[in-house]
Amino acid sequence: MASTVIKNWDNKTWLSSQNYINSFNNFLIKNTKINSNFKILDIGCGRGKILGSLSSRLNLKYKPLGIDIINHKDRDKRINFKRVNILDLSLRKSQKFDLILIKQTIHLIKLSEVKKLLKSLVKILNTKGKILIFTLDTTNNEIPTFKLMKFKLNKSLSRDKKILKTITNLYPRRIKKKFIFKVKISKKKYIEMIESRYISTLIPLSKKQINQGIQEIKLSYKNQLKFKDKLNCIIL
Ligand SMILES: C[S@@+](CC[C@H](N)C(=O)[O-])C[C@H]1O[C@@H](n2cnc3c(N)ncnc32)[C@H](O)[C@@H]1O
């Protein structure tokens, strides 16, 4: 696992807005036919707001289980939470799930580990259970970037492509979907997100590189940023 520590991904960004959470959960409901008896596991759950909201909306009988290496103080209390590296967790076959969600987390795991992880996750799925893996769109990505950020992002996206290819080879019957969310955000707010290194590609950059990037963003974007946050979804 990369030693990346992502703390500000869903810290008051569009990714934690009720609008985003609702449309993401609409997508989940449409594609998995979730009902109130579903047992759900979220790997790399962050603050757990997505499944917390889903749990209230569907009145889930069982609290979803979220796993993350970081335990945020403002984590959603409607989910059960385990602070652990998923790669260190021995997944007991006795605890089975109807839906396993891996949203924007698989790129932080080594390819060789991804294979092992998926094989062990398939074993803890109920008969009609599904695994949903979301990654950033690898071809028509619209995330606003500065030069160095784009370079790093493209590197990460080509890794994602490899991961998706590996998953397709392992599970040729997988289904592919896209989740698209229209983002409207002020340049000021987006710059704050860059300052707080909201995305993993920004974590290793120096303060100087971040500041240079912010200057580039200031010059090359209008006061309102409008773009589509597009995700690939693989259903196993
Ligand atoms: C980009 S965030 C995505 C958060 C959330 N799934 C979402 O989409 O809003 C990735 C999350 O995965 C967690 N993570 C990374 N590697 C992990 C691992 N090996 N085991 C558990 N969690 C991990 C990070 O701490 C972070 O919260």
Pocket test for ligand 1, best of 53, 69, 110 (most atoms within 8 A of CB): 69
Tell me the pLDDT band of 13, cut-offs 50, 70 and 90. Answer: confident
Pocket test for ligand 1, best of 68, 87, 110 (most atoms within 8 A of CB): 68
Contact 19, 50 (CB under 8 A): no
Residue 72 CA, ligand 1 centroid: distance in Å: 12
Q: Which atom of ligand 1 is nearest to the CA of 42?
A: 6
pLDDT at position 89 is: 86
pLDDT at position 26 is: 97
DSSP secondary structure, 148-188, as one string = HHHHHHHHHHHHHHHHHHHHHHH-TT-EEEEEEEEEEEEHH
The mean per-residue pLDDT over the stretch 92-98 comes to: 82
Give the pLDDT confidence of 157-202 residue by residue, as tens digits: 999 999 999 999 999 999 999 999 999 999 999 999 999 999 999 9
Predicted confidence (pLDDT) at residue 3 exceeds the cutoff of 60:
no
User: By mean pLDDT, which of 5-19, 115-129, 131-145, 202-216 is the weakest?
Assistant: 5-19
104: left (phi over 0), alpha (psi -120 to 50) or beta: left
Q: Which atom of ligand 1 is nearest to the CA of 200?
A: 1
Structure tokens belonging to residue 26: 């609409």
How far is it, in rounded angstroms, from Cα 69 to Cα 83? 5
pLDDT at position 2 is: 40
Closest CA to 62 of 48, 78, 45, 83: 78
**Run of H or E residues at 216:** helix 207-220
Looking at ligand 1, which residue's alpha carbon is closest to its atom 23?
Answer: 44
Q: Which atom of ligand 1 is nearest to the CA of 102?
A: 6
Other Cβ atoms within 10 Å of 46 Cβ, number: 24
Q: Which atom of ligand 1 is nearest to the CA of 70?
A: 25
Looking at ligand 1, which residue's alpha carbon is closest to its atom 4?
Answer: 46
Residue 25 CA, ligand 1 centroid: distance in Å: 18
Tell me the pLDDT band of 1, cut-offs 50, 70 and 90. Answer: very low
Looking at ligand 1, which residue's alpha carbon is closest to its atom 3?
Answer: 104
The mean per-residue pLDDT over the stretch 14-28 comes to: 94
Predicted confidence (pLDDT) at residue 92 exceeds the cutoff of 90:
no
User: Domains (ranges, CATH) in the chain?
Assistant: 14-185+227-235 (3.40.50.150)
pLDDT at position 233 is: 97
Indicate the pTM of the whole model: 0.93
Question: In the structure, which protein residues have their CB atom closer than 6 angstroms to any atom of ligand 1?
Answer: 1, 6, 9-10, 15, 44-46, 67-70, 85-87, 103-105, 108-109
Tell me the pLDDT band of 7, cut-offs 50, 70 and 90. Answer: confident
Pocket test for ligand 1, best of 65, 88, 105, 107 (most atoms within 8 A of CB): 105
Collapse the DSSP code of 72 into the 3-class scheme (helix H, G, I; strand E, B; otherwise coil) and give the result: coil
33: left (phi over 0), alpha (psi -120 to 50) or beta: left
Mean pLDDT value across the chain? 93
